[in-house]
Chains A and B, each alone.
Chain A
């Protein structure tokens, strides 16, 4: 019940007695649980991170690891979209620019959505309403937060379409989503997200539905726009390649928890968790054939209702038996600092991991 009361918190209720945030976005011990007939699905189970303005955080993980749920949690879309009895249970703290969102008035959070924080979704075809023109949808997004007439709003829409590189924006503004190509649709989606100059932009798998050449263009666009607007950006992906050049920090999620977190170059070049190794190993690279992936992550993602005891990754981990006394199967590893601002949750000792990485994994990549 306490979790529920937090999600539907009353106006002005002070946040739990905890230190004031230092970063622009600070997530503390976020939990998002969904009650179902089979049990409680713990999609996110105690996630914490920080993000500064002008920086980009990449959240990486398989589908079902809780990365999308995290982003929807920040946006407050779990509570807004739930009807009937089965509401999501959310707890923890989400501080955005000094305000705690989970305990704030839902209508206050709604007003932040689209203006302070905006989101780009994975599949722009299904994420855009098929019955309204691109222009109508952008105009709507703009006029929610700006008291302007439709004409002004439409001018703004054309301007935004132009900015994201859509040719003949004054004509295309009256087109329907199905009349656009995939890449164009994602550009339009980005235009819609940025129409209110949000301070936080969350891009959830922004390129997954697109083909490779278009992917690169979209990523370039996001980077350029971030520079221009100075927003904080979270890019959520299952593909490390997407965030390789984009992200300042990386957060690797597994089974609803963070397993490794740190500056991008650290996580890429000195990864300290076997799951991250797997992700790196399964990363498609232009200079390699896909069949040559050396360290694929075998097995399937864990059940979020009954996570494996101990380290959640242990059934799939080739090194589960390296630590002594079966500790991987009985004790859940905590995040420990493995370098400057670099954390990982693994029972193996620093030396063991360094050795395996440098001797066994890195040469094959």
Chain B
């Protein structure tokens, strides 16, 4: 421990103490006197927004050292089939590879697909129903055995075993086997347990997918973590997540759920076989905290490099960090849209004019403020396609002028719509909001206040947020409780209109329980556009259809978007080659982060 390091850490430690001090008293201490001009050079940090959609300090990353993650949230599962949290998908690239994966590049480019285990992207048949890949040479498991096409197939088959391996995304299952004929590998009668007919493995190097119907996003689905290979003799079924068998540059050394996780180098992995991963650090650790303020303070103090959950600093840490360590912060768009939606099975929201009355009556600026303002909350949402999804027009598409003329609410227009709805004197309804999300409760109160001005009286019902799948996921319960307005948020599973909007807007996704199509949208035109989308062949066509779907949804006035969410993310001064990527909704791309000073 050199003296230089100690003094540097002490300074940061004092700053961290200030975080807590700020949190303990609301008194604003005007000064901020020891701010040295905000230049990022002093402690080596790259500068504010230096890693937002661009690469920060790529050349300073060195081999070796321990990259230290910290988090208040463990993954839902580290099993590649079962994980659904965004940060888990991001992190899983350390220990698992797929046929194709997202490009390790910042911003929009990061959302594109690039070969990983495969030598190239898919050879797709003319009808879009057959995808063929050839596996690269030199790809190995952590025990040195080669990764074969059968391992890939088996890994994908595990998605079918939902009764054992619940939790992960099921797109592959729905696309490859929409009728649900295959029972999954654990009930597979075939000796090699490779009974899924939609996938062929003519030899160890070749894998062929046969889709019953074309799906233009199929390759994006293969880039999901749930398409990772799993070796049958290493499959511990429901316990696989405790120690996944590595196909990537790192392998599990130890894992104590909710306490810590350590990855070490997989010595069998060869750089030459992997065009994507740089594998800078020697070791990667995660330490789990329970106190978000403590976590923030330790990040700011430099004890840890990066927040695993990538949900941004909490309000207290944010304030101090913005004031004193702006050069360590990025302010990316998260990919989430926060919104209110109107179940059509609750009167009078079956009438589009009543829905529009709410859209016009709402004060969008105060909703944005309730979400945390332009920096911590995000830009005012004007439509339902997140900025990270191809086809998005951002605030340029603003059919109700929510960020324009009507941003503080338009009482006149709202009243006109009420008249058209047959409720000239307004009506009463109930907002359903999760009780464990203070920000959502605040937005509900803001909405309540602005709607009162147009004669719509709303009551706020705070339900047990942990039970949302049973409470608002059940349309009959929503109707019974009279929830005319539901406050929620949604982010894309993978950056496409299908990966974002299908469960929200497609009539097939109206379910009796765990429903996410809260608005009960049953519009043949929207269903038709989704069908079109699946057969699109190029990016331009996909983007165009995505725009059309978005416009249809907005024209139906099913949603009141609050913000295109942004958050404040922390990166330590010691990490380099950092950038946010649309592949993971504005999170940093973990897999190629390196340390500037590996000894620190």
Q: Establish whether A and B are touching in the complex (CB under 8 Å).
A: no
